[in-house]
Amino acid sequence: EEVSSRTPSLEALPDIPLFSDLPRDAFIEFFEGCPLRHFARGQQVFERGSRGTAFYVICEGSVRVFRDADKELAALGSGAFFGEMALLSGAPRMATVESTSDETLLLEVPASVLAHLSRRYPQVARALKKFCRDRLLTNVMS
């Protein structure tokens, strides 16, 4: 993948429900230094079993989340996020994620930035845990 030369501007970020409570300033402060990464269709963001070092927000495009080629867990689009589970649990990535659109733009949030954000905004940490629980439950039940 390619690291964009432009840093993600606030305008580049879609409406992200997870962060809807964050003041504008906090957005700039936390995400300004995060790289914006481009993925072509079919390109892998990370592989199941790898170590989690970052969390991703979909700015543009879409991805699919799968355990095995024929076992898709989810399809996610603009404004959605993924990669929170490994960061919250310390466990390896539970699924592989790959781009399903010609140009997928992902904001890559390093674990340290997410940890800092979660400490400062406990509601973000709570919301993340809730997503994590819901997703785990979905996977167990499917």
Give the three-class secondary structure for 41. Answer: coil
- Stretch of residues binding ligand CMP (CB under 6 A), selected from 12-20, 23-31, 90-98, 113-121: 90-98
Comparing CB distances to ligand CMP, the nearer of 12 and 74 is: 74
The reply on whether position 83 binds ligand CMP by CB under 6 A is yes
CA distances from 68 to 47, 59, 60, 71, 89 (A): 11, 25, 25, 5, 21
Pick one of 86, 105, 106, 109: the residue that binds ligand CMP (CB under 6 A). 86
Which residues, other chains included, contact 29 with Cβ-Cβ below 8 Å and sequence gap of 6+? none
CA distances from 67 to 4, 8, 36, 104 (A): 29, 30, 25, 20
Site residue total, ligand CMP (CB under 6 A): 16
The reply on whether position 39 binds ligand CMP by CB under 6 A is no
Q: Are 106 and 36 in contact (CB under 8 A)?
A: yes
Pick one of 93, 108, 118, 124: the residue that binds ligand CMP (CB under 6 A). 93
Which residues lie near ligand CMP (CB under 6 A)?
52, 65, 73-74, 82-86, 93-95, 97, 135, 138-139
